[in-house]
Amino acid sequence: MLKAAEIEFSYDTTPLFSKVSFHVEKGRLCGLFGPNGSGKTTLFKCCLGLLKAKGNITIAGREHSKISTAAMAKLVAYVPQDHSSPFPFLVREVVLMGRAPHFGGVFGITKEDRERTEEAMARLGLSKIADKPYTNISGGQRQLVLIARALAQDTPLIMLDEPTSSLDFKNQIMIWKILREIVESGKTVFACAHDPNHVSWFCDHVLVMGRGGLMAKGDPSSILDEPLLTRLYGEICGIGTISGLRMVYPK
């Protein structure tokens, strides 16, 4: 679904990362894991064409630089790490914006657009705050609204940058379960995550960013082992099993 070959990007004279190659396969949930500042958001922005990288990126078999903005909006939904709006749009209006790539010319907003908006809000438990201004809700609620907007956009690929960073425990698990349902319906999800447990519990595949590029990729439970976590964070992580569930815990 998303293929990157030999990607290199620099903000200044020194590359932040180079030789980054990976494949996010269709119908899979791929995690992007790595320490603060390792370049995960930057790599996402390169994949989305928001930053220009060296190398080759294809989405759904099409070379990324040749995809128009309108076509890209039907292919990929992006949930940024944080977002604020200067305008007091209602929650419902922000979610409806996800439908913009589907608005039908003179027909404008259709019944289907409105139904998909209501469905996405209901799925994320937002219906009760649908008429509240987006500027007057909490950071966690804003994060849920952006995820709802991406679901309403109904694209084959969804990219989420730390989608659960502002959420309480219940909502974190709800989001990961929804992401699983999405991939089980045939769509593809690529998500940055900081919690190794979330990655190993919910992702099919993981890419690990280290200093200068990718340091590992593959099956999360075997890749995120103690030696790798020690290389990333020092000697702070142990790995055990509780009720059959693999658990990374602080030593």
Ligand X SMILES: Nc1ncnc2c1ncn2[C@@H]1O[C@H](COP(=O)(O)OP(=O)(O)OP(=O)(O)O)[C@@H](O)[C@H]1O
* Two tokens, residue 4: 């990157």
In angstroms, give the least distance from the CB of 7 to ligand X.
Answer: 13
- Between 40 and 64, name the residue whose CB sits nearer to ligand X: 40
- Between 78 and 126, name the residue whose CB sits nearer to ligand X: 78
List beta partners, residue 154. Answer: none
- Between 61 and 234, name the residue whose CB sits nearer to ligand X: 234
3-state secondary structure of 195: coil
- Between 91 and 209, name the residue whose CB sits nearer to ligand X: 209
**Is the distance from CB of 167 to CB of 91 less than 8 angstroms?**
no
What is the crossing angle of helices 111-123 and 139-153, to 10°?
Answer: 140
Residues of this chain that bind ligand X (CB under 6 A): 11, 16, 34, 36-42
Contacts of 108 (CB under 8 A, 6+ apart): none
Helices and strands (H, E) in the chain, number of each type = 9, 12
Scan for tokens 């082992």, then name that residue: 225
Question: Between β-strands 157-160 and 76-79, what pairing exists: parallel, antiparallel or unpaired?
Answer: parallel
- Between 234 and 244, name the residue whose CB sits nearer to ligand X: 234
